[in-house]
Amino acid sequence: MKAWHPRLRTAPDISTGVRSGSEPAPLRGRLGGVDSTPPNTHHREEVVVVSQGPSQGPFEGRFQGEVLPIGELLQRVLAQPPHDPTSDVGVLHTAAGNAAACAELLAEGESLNGCWRFGILQTLDDYTSTLRRGGTVLAAQVFTDEPAPTGSVEVDAAFAALADHLAERDGWQAPAWALDPERRAEDWYPDVPSTWRAEARRDSPRAFAQRGIHLTSRSLNRA
């Protein structure tokens, strides 16, 4: 009786790239249990095979993909612009929402200076963080919705002044509600000590001064 010997299944003709010479680079690894790397092969170009079709068995049909050298593959990856997940987040807080919070604070007995800090300066912080994430187009949306009356003409005027001031500073169109002439105070010095009031009358930004609100050059500074 003849001894039975298993037949080794061979791979189809697969070209995986070109070496620095003229001969095709050998396929590295083991195919069908046989080491397909010829001996004494010391110089070859590493390649990555990118599949372009439905997956088949290990030796069914001929390879029809694209062969990419490692260097080119890395170049393609590095050419992709980095994704900033924060840019997918819209406006988180608005002037209208902060005005509603101010109305509640005032109803509970909060002072006007307290509402300046918790309403106006908080809105400035919200605008600044949105500006950093998404630029002026997104940041302007902090002021899209008109804030409802808070119960204080001073605070209502300050919301309009802040929108007008930031629009002028950063080059976007102030919303119509911010230009309402009814949003005006009578000589309000929010959080400004009496010793600095002369400075505030001199240095207050145009958008605030024309609405009767007087600030120093430091009033809108944020840490």
Cβ distance 190 to 113 under 8 Å? yes
Predicted pLDDT at 190: 97
Q: Which residue has the higher pLDDT, 189 or 60?
A: 189
Assigned domain for 99 exists: yes
Residues 57-61: contacts with CB under 8 Å, at least 24 apart: 58/11, 58/31, 58/32, 59/9, 59/10, 59/11, 59/12, 59/31, 59/32, 61/12
DSSP 8-class letter at 48: E
Least confident of 53-62, 76-85, 181-190: 53-62
Cα dihedral 56, 57, 62, 67, rounded to 10, equals: 70
CA atoms within 13 A on the CB side of 154: 17
Confidence check: pLDDT of 167 > 50: yes
In a domain, residue 165? The reply is yes
Please state the domain count of the chain: 1
Q: Is residue 106 part of a domain?
A: yes
> Which residue is it, tokens 């002037």?
95
How does residue 112 score in pLDDT terms, banded at 50, 70 and 90? very high
Highest mean pLDDT among 5-9, 23-27, 155-159: 155-159
More confident residue, 119 or 22: 119
Domain presence at residue 49: no
Residue 100 in 3-state DSSP?
Answer: helix
In this structure, is residue 116 part of a structural domain?
A: yes
Range of the domain at 105: 92-183
Q: Please report the pLDDT score of residue 88 as a whole number.
A: 58
Pairing of strands 47-50, 30-31: unpaired
Pairs from 99-102 (Cβ < 8 Å, separation ≥ 24): 99/147, 99/148, 99/150, 99/155, 99/156, 99/159, 100/147, 100/148, 102/150, 102/152, 102/155
Q: Looking at residue 9, what is its pLDDT?
A: 47
170 is a domain residue:
yes
- C-alpha pair distances (Å), 34 with each of 9, 10, 38, 100: 9, 9, 11, 75
Asked if the structure places residue 216 within a domain, the reply is no
Query: Tell me: the pLDDT tens digits for 64-109?
Result: 667 778 887 777 777 776 645 445 578 999 999 999 999 999 999 9
